[in-house]
Chains A and B, each alone.
Chain A
Amino acid sequence: MKKQIFHIDRRGFIAGLASSAAFPAAIGSSVGSAFAQGQTPKHGGTLTTVAWPGTTYMNAAITTSGPESFLSPKFFDGLLGYDYGMVEKPALATSWSISEDGKRITFNLREGVKWHDGEPFTSKDVAFTFMEVIKVHHGRGRSLFADLETVETPDDLTAIFVLSRPAPAIMKALDGRESPILPAHIYEGTNIMENPANTNPIGTGAFKLASYERGVSIVMERNPDYWDGDKPYLDRIIVQYIPDASTRTAMLESGQADVVFLNFLPALDTLRLAESPDFEMVEEGYETSASNHQMDFNLDREIFKDARVRHAIAHAIDRQWIVDNVWHGFGVAGATPLHHEQRAFFTTEGVPSYPYDLAKAEALLDEAGYPRGANGVRFDLTIDPTPYGDESLIAAEYIREQLRQIGIRLTIRTQDYAVFIKRCWTDRDFDLCLYTAAMGADPTIGVQRFYWSKNFKPGVAFSNASNYSNPEVDELLEAAQVELDPEKRKEQFAKFQQIAMTDLPTLPVVHTTRATIAWRKVKDHTVDAVGALGNLANCWIEE
């Protein structure tokens, strides 16, 4: 990661000042790491964190939005957890097996698990959650579990998924964030979206809701009957909702917050604090929420029907420069439609890379029949950056400058979020559009939607906006949807990455990464692939 460092002395002084004011005792004793190997976790303590925006619900089975994704896993468990590399590990299911033909997945459930209200957890809850809630109300679940015909419950501790065809991607979407298990006895026979338990959660999770002030704060307290040994270690987790990013920084620095997850600080503040010995920055634990910032070419535009024009634009944009200067190092230069954290499938082997080369870009445009006019301009284009955060707009400003150098006059259009979504995915009134999208725990969940011709659906946000259609790509994506052999799936996605980058309907700009920044006394907040989007049951505070 490239960092620009100026005036370290003054900055170190300020950071030291802030920490000494808040924690006189912590100075000098802050040795060790968040991964406290060999240290014995201690019970007790309150973990305070800050976030924004506030939440609408407390479970993520009925929504895919961000605040719920963070809260839900604390109150609710999933069938599975995920170790680094998205390797399945037990949670509410202790073991599982997939039939030969891939159409039956049997989960053996954990014994003795109780809901927060004392009722026992059974296979009925699993069947109800998937069939009545996630298949109906969850944004991604609707398509991901489309092939799930029924969940059989031969006894209280066995749940069998019956599929109309194999769906290996399901196995990566069973954690407490993506598919939290809800209590059937609370939700059955009610209007699920209106159920009061949506804001007063009754789960099996490590924490219970203690108090909730809408838009201000949430206090969770330890679930003493949690099934996982003597976990959780923390007595309490407090989430405070703070709209201003600089205020969040000040709260962390002054000790009013212990940890900040999910890039809720300005990137430059995170980097500044990371240099201080009192803080530790961790970039792991965000595998389930890997996101790409990408640029769609509207292939309905005559000018983009020629691949050379798309290639020329790719050659003119130095993606590494964008990573270094717009994302401040929190990312990797865009290389393929997948995200590098999709470790099992991501590959750059044999994938065209379009290195930064203005001369080549100009040559391609000349070849495509777009010479520079008298005023040095070849043609005009517009770009629509996402009006969410600053990065997209700043990246668009950089792209405009780069395209100017190869003779393309680019105009930036800004609008509010609703207009942006409507323009790109309903009206299709754009040339280039720039946005961040979650790539999902599995490429079938997050990547396929942008490249699959059957997902060209005007009116559906984050579908195939470029109107890309290549039968070979369709075939590969559909085969990978149902392929059970991991090696074969890997080959299918490798081939897909090569073709998609050759056709280039969408330019992957940045594979973004996220960071957690915490006081060093906070231990074990990130221990697996889901990190802060897990239950934080392993997290403890050293005093």
Chain B
Amino acid sequence: MNSGSQSLIARLLRHPSGLVGLLLLLLVLGMALGAGYFYPSGPWSLSGSPRLWPGQNPALPLGTDSLGRDLAAGLFHGSRVSLAVGAAAAIFSVAIGTIIGGLSGYYGGWIDDVLMRLTDAMQTIPSFLSAIAIVGIVGPSLVTIIVAIAIVSWPMIARLVRAEFLRLRTYDFVQSCRIIGMSDLRIIFTQILPNCLAPIIVASSVLVATAIIVEASLSFLGLGDPNAMSWGTMLGNGRAALRTAWYMTAIPAAALVLTVLALNLLGDALNDVLNPRLKERS
């Protein structure tokens, strides 16, 4: 852990799936950052005749959707929404999960009982269905979608963090902190938490991937933010033309698959690189 970020990236780059994942993710990030530069008029502008197949018009290499919107512009601008939702939802649920798991693991006793029963209850609810319910009741907007995804995905992090805290709180360095009179909060945030960052980072990379998929599924079902172009919105728009113009669905689907794959590869690689016991293998 304390070998520095420089060597962490170096080790990731030596890891085959880490390299591929990192490159793919950089590509998607590049798309998100460059969207405004390459397609300044935004993803909604009607830039060609509707239902152009890829390659039919060299100016619109990926073709157009059923309203004549450039699919390439949609892909670039959509990456912003998909990544932002993924990242924001992951940060939110990691924050909730870490606090609940941390308190639960550190204090134990009745706090642990209450918080873990709450977590159990949350885990019995099918997460995608409850995301649909939340968005359906509150109304679709990017913020509600992010909150809905965070609400349904924090229990996994909470259990992970609790297990780490349960293990670490018995260690000598924690005991010695107690003895010198360090406050609980300081022990939790400056001593234990840094030592269980590795599994949290690995889990959050998967969480980002899941959040992107959930957002896409919600948009596909028509529960996305109608004013934000995401890959899920593109999938939903293309669905009606699946038999006659499959490229409208295939193009955003490919982007989704590659991004999720990249995040999963990165997660695997991080797991290998950050786990000291597996260091020899990587």
Contact = CB atoms under 8 A, between A and B. Distances in A.
B136 A394 contact: no
Nearest to A396: B226
29 contacts: A6-B53, A246-B242, A266-B243, A268-B240, A268-B241, A268-B243, A269-B243, A272-B243, A272-B244, A325-B66, A325-B68, A326-B67, A387-B222, A390-B240, A393-B226, A394-B67, A394-B237, A396-B226, A397-B44, A397-B226, A401-B46, A412-B226, A412-B227, A413-B139, A414-B139, A414-B140, A415-B139, A416-B136, A419-B139
Contacts of B240: 266-268, 390
B134 interface: no
A9 to B, nearest CB: 14
Contacts of B16: none
Contacts of A266: 240, 243
Contacts of A387: 222
Interface string B205-241: 0000000000000000010001100000000010011
Given A394-B67, A397-B67, A268 B244 contact: yes
Nearest to A272: B244
B30 interface: no
Contacts of A390: 222, 240
A398 B45 CA distance: 9
Pairs of residues from A and B, 5 with the lowest C-beta to C-beta distance, nearest first: A412-B226, A268-B244, A325-B50, A414-B226, A4-B51
Interface in B12-57: 44-46, 50-51, 53
Main secondary structure of the interface of B (DSSP, over half): loop
Interface extent on B, as a size class?
A: 20 to 34
A412 B237 CA distance: 15
A398 B46 contact: yes
Nearest to B53: A6
A6 B243 CA distance: 12
Interface in B96-125: none
Contacts of A463: none
A434 B45 CA distance: 21
A393 B222 contact: yes
A249 to B, nearest CB: 7
Interface in A372-421: 387, 390, 393-394, 396-398, 400-401, 404, 411-416, 419
B245 interface: yes
Nearest to B244: A268
A317 to B, nearest CB: 12
Interface of A: 4, 6, 11, 246, 249, 266-269, 272, 325-326, 387, 390, 393-394, 396-398, 400-401, 404, 411-416, 419
A401 B44 contact: yes
Nearest to B236: A390
A394 B50 CA distance: 13
Contacts of B140: 414
Given A246-B242, A326-B67, A401-B46, 17 more contacts: A4-B51, A6-B51, A11-B244, A268-B240, A268-B245, A269-B243, A272-B243, A325-B50, A325-B66, A394-B66, A394-B237, A397-B44, A398-B67, A404-B44, A412-B226, A413-B139, A414-B226
A267 B140 CA distance: 27
Contact of A6 (B67, B136, B139, B244): B244
A388 B165 CA distance: 50
A400 B245 contact: no
A347 B177 CA distance: 88
Interface in B240-254: 240-245
B222 A414 contact: yes
B44 A400 contact: yes
Instruction: Tell which of A269, A411, A414 has the most Cβ of chain B within 10 Å.
Output: A414
Given A325-B68, A394-B67, A398-B46, A249 B227 contact: no
Nearest to A14: B243
Contact of B245 (A6, A394, A396, A404): A6
B22 to A, nearest CB: 36
A11 B243 CA distance: 9
A459 B22 CA distance: 56
A387 B242 CA distance: 21
A386 to B, nearest CB: 12
A328 to B, nearest CB: 9
Contacts of A6: 51, 53, 244-245
B246 to A, nearest CB: 11
A326 B240 CA distance: 11
Contacts of B243: 246, 249, 266, 268-269, 272
A246 B51 CA distance: 19
Given A246-B242, A325-B68, A4 B46 contact: no
Nearest to B136: A416
A20 B226 CA distance: 42
Contacts of A4: 50-51
Contacts of A326: 66-67
A424 to B, nearest CB: 15
A390 B222 CA distance: 9
Contacts of B241: 268
B38 to A, nearest CB: 19
A260 to B, nearest CB: 15
Contacts of A404: 44
A362 to B, nearest CB: 17
Interface string B115-149: 00000000000000000000010011000000000
Instruction: Tell which of B44, B46, B237, B244 has the most Cβ of chain A within 10 Å.
Output: B244
Interface string B182-206: 0000000000000000000000000
Nearest to A6: B53
Contacts of A325: 50, 66-68
Contacts of A412: 226-227
Instruction: Tell which of B51, B53, B240 has the most Cβ of chain A within 10 Å.
Output: B240
Given A249-B243, A268-B244, A393-B222, A401 B139 contact: no
A485 to B, nearest CB: 46
A4 B50 CA distance: 9
A419 B241 CA distance: 29
Interface in B66-114: 66-68
A138 to B, nearest CB: 32
A11 B244 CA distance: 8
A6 B241 CA distance: 12
Contacts of A269: 243-244
A411 B242 contact: no
A398 B68 CA distance: 10
Contacts of A394: 66-67, 237
